[in-house]
Amino acid sequence: MANITEGGSMVQAAANYQILEIINRGLAYAIIVAGFLSVVFIFVGGISFILSGGQEDKIKSAVSTIRYAIIGLIITVLATVIVGTVGKAMGLDIIKYINFGDIINTITSITSQGGGSGPSLD
């Protein structure tokens, strides 16, 4: 990828990507975000269930949250399989971008650069 800070422009950086590459990455990130949010809502529903204190309406709300989060997770997994199958049939290998090791490395590199606006920990 072109380095914008070394005299390259954003247009030059964007020109290095093909439209299919952008679509592949966008779909991959959408699937990852949907899966992550499903897991988060399962935890939120579980915590709500624990903190319900035996109140029937809170228990129903927590169980509903967990149910819909699990349905969302199932839909995310099915979407990954469907998109992968259809993508391969059309020549778009979307599954190659769903690599959690690369995502963790990217998050680590972003956080190690001090991307926040707060005080530095150094």
User: Nearest to residue 36, comparing CAs of 94, 104, 93?
Assistant: 104
Q: pLDDT tens for residues 51-79?
A: 999 899 999 999 999 999 999 989 888 87
User: In percent, how much of the chain has pLDDT > 70?
Assistant: 56
pLDDT at 2: 47
User: Nearest to residue 75, comparing CAs of 20, 26, 30, 18?
Assistant: 30
Q: Which residues contact 52 (CB under 8 A, 6 or more apart)?
A: 58, 59, 62
Q: pLDDT tens for residues 3-58?
A: 455 556 666 666 666 766 676 677 777 777 888 899 899 999 999 999 999 899 99
pLDDT at 111: 61
Look at 97 and 52; give whichever has higher pLDDT: 52
pLDDT at 98: 62
pLDDT at 1: 47
